Amino acid sequence: MDVDITRTAVLRHEFERELRKLPVNAAKRIKALLATGLIGDETIAEVQHIITQELGAKEAHKVLNRYSMLFWKRGSEFALRQLKRAGLTLEIPSYLAVMDEETLTALRAMQLDLVTGMSETMKKDVAFQLREGMLRGEHPTKIADRIAEVAQITKNKATRIARTEATRVFNEAASDRYKKAGIEKFTWTAIGDERTCDICDGLDGQIFSIGSQKPPIHVNCRCTIVPLIEK
């Protein structure tokens, strides 16, 4: 059973769905372009342009940035609950109730690297499929099918991205709140079910300083951090 101690499962699934929507319009536009029967270097360039528009930056960034804010909020709330259990109440001034610009910039930078990597890979795949179809003398409809197949984020990839990004932002937010409360160390907490990997199982219960590396330690990591209250 997948235990969700962060209470973000529904939000993560929504995140996955949004990520999986991104390529759909690209496939439609590419099919319409290839339906004209004109296939050549200019067509390849236009297809790459469509892929960049639909996947590379603007729309993907909107989704990632929006969910970064949501998971940051959830992580902050989780941290405050942990502190409250320890008898600590942290009053956060209004100007610190949201991410500071430095933190937000750092989070966006990591996400943009991920999106850029996806886009460049897809562009190369699209170009390959176009050339392959042309060399085989395939009908534009057949080539369009090739493009539609590669211009997709699979369910598994969307799940991996959503889970990993959510875990990272969630724990960054928790760490930020602990630090503001004067907490210097945290305990690494793994889920402890049949899906927990050996790496996370080995880290479970270990104590780290707030400035240390935090989950996710690998793709699909589900670990969280809880504050160590030293009496």
pLDDT tens-place string over residues 125-161 = 777 887 787 778 777 777 777 777 776 666 777 788 8
Q: How far apart (Å, rounded) are the C-alpha atoms in residues 169 and 104? A: 10
pLDDT in tens, 161-206: 888 888 988 999 999 889 888 899 999 999 888 889 999 999 999 9
Sheet of 185-189, strands arranged across = 207-209, 185-189, 224-227
User: Per-domain residue ranges for the chain?
Assistant: 9-182
Which pTM value belongs to this model?
0.72
